[in-house]
Every structure is written in structure tokens, then in C-alpha cells.
Copies of this chain bind each other. A is one copy, B any other.
Amino acid sequence: MKKEVPFKGIIAYPITPFNESGQVDIGLYKQLLERLITSGSHGVAPLGSTGVLPYLSDEEKEAIVTASVQQTDKRVPVLVGVSSLTTERTVHHAKFAEQAGATAVMIIPMSYWKLTDDEIFRHYDTVAEQLSIPIMAYNNPATGGVDMSPALLKRLLQIPSVTMIKESTGDVQRMHYLRRELGEEVAFYNGSNPLALAAFATGARGWCTAAPNLIPELNNQLYEAVSNNNLDLAREVFYRQFSLLQFIVAKGLPRSVQAGLRIKQLNGGHLRAPLQQLTQEEYTQLEKLLGQ
């Protein structure tokens, strides 16, 4: 079976904006998604960490999926986050995404209890059996609570529809291992913003990032430089965005993007508690980083 790998380049993560009374603002969401597409992202990824997936009710998640597919209208591929704590809920959301027209789904084995390798494999396998679109397996111990070893990721790739791996540990050695253990053809993606240059250097196929909400040109230029085999330019472009990448990771992607949009005189809506706005000091720092 030929592995279907529909993503490469800059895969942009929209935030989920809320209105003043705390409800998801679908109209505003569509505007923010449109900006990501028209500014040159090669794919979009609703319901990631940036989109505060775990803070949404089932109905809210479904509204976001439907809006994403409609708004994108096949201009770029759509990667939908469907991670849930139980297997049953994960299947439910994955099937919804497929029926709504998503290109692929992304699944992190969210853990409250530390899951065994067998439990994680069974989790992915159960979802895959009921799905016909590809799956991106996502490793991010910091948010998911589970650290999938390269050996486990290799095992997951035996499931035909698991065709992509997103690595967010921020450890470049993981990418070396993946490439050595899984072969040159494995499609791995970087999810750690400050690792963008090193990850592309090691052969990452794409960069999953919330940064295009704020600095799409710099993000795109980095990918183009790498694609053109121009390391010197890639390095230069990377260092021009490094401080911002660090900032948005340190302060949290939804909080930073929401404030950054305000700084750029765009509407980023409201956050959902317990998340709170950046402090004034953080806001001022971000203004400087955005050159405003």
C-alpha cells in the first residue's frame, strides 16, 4: 500500500476565538483561518493545542470542523485534531472529521494514566479501522503526558493509515532516530517552534506552527530557503524569527496569538478560563518582538 502523505511545508494552527459571553465565535474563526490561507500556509490544522481542543465541548468541536472545511474550500489540505482521553470519543470525532471532508486527522494519545505501549497501539488501531483518511501520530509529552518512543512510533507506522509523525519534544536527536529507524522516506513533522531550523536541516517534511497567525512571511521564507538548499539564507531568516518563536512557546500559543493579533490591530476574540490574557509586561515584550 502506498502511504498517502498530504502535508508538507508550513502547516498553520488557528486559535479558537471566543466572544464576550464565552461562546465560540465561528464568524471570527473563519476570518482568522482565511488569513492563514491567503498568507501562504501550505495547510491548516484546526483543533490543535493552539485551538484549545481540550477546552471545547463536542458541539463546539464539530462546529469548528465544519467551518474549517467550508472556509478552506480545498485550497489547502485540512488536518483536524481529534484527540480525546477515551478511545470511544476519539473514534467519534475522527469519523465526524472524515464525513465533514477533512484531509487527515491528528491524534495524540492524551493520557491521564500513563498508557502502556500496547494500550497506545490498540488506541490508534481501533480508530484506524473505522477511518479511510490518513492519520498523523503526534508525540508531545509536555501537553499529552505520554512520550512515545521511536520504537513505538515505528510500530504505529505498521498501521496502514498512520502515514505521518509529528514530533514536538524539541529534541533534535529524536528526528535523527526516526530517520535512521524508519528510513529516509518516513514523513516526520516538527511541532517545536524554536527547533524549526534544526528540524528542517535534519529532513523534516513540514513545520506545524501557530506562528503564521503573526509572522507568516518569515515562516514561509524559512521553508523556501530550505527547499532551495540555501542554508545560509535559512539561518539568517531563522534568527530573525527566533525570539518571537521562543516567546509564543514560553507564554502559551493561544494567549500569545490572541495578544499578537490585537497588537497587529486585528480581532483575536477572548480566551476561555482558566486561560487569562498576557500581563501588561508580557504584552509590551510582544509588541517589541512584532516591531510595533
Contact = CB atoms under 8 A, between A and B. Distances in A.
A53 B113 CA distance: 11
A31 to B, nearest CB: 23
A101 interface: no
A107 B37 CA distance: 41
Provide the main secondary structure of the chain A interface: helix
B201 A235 contact: yes
A203 B235 contact: yes
A273 B116 CA distance: 12
Interface of A: 22, 49, 52-55, 85-88, 109, 112-116, 118-120, 122-123, 126, 142-143, 145, 170, 172-173, 176, 179-180, 184, 194-195, 197-198, 201-203, 226, 229-232, 234-235, 239, 242-243, 252-255, 272-276, 279
7 contacts: A49-B113, A86-B272, A86-B273, A118-B279, A172-B172, A198-B202, A226-B231
When A and B form their complex, which 10 residue pairs have the shortest distance between CB atoms, in order from nearest?
A201-B201, A87-B273, A198-B198, A231-B231, A123-B274, A54-B112, A119-B274, A172-B198, A113-B252, A87-B274
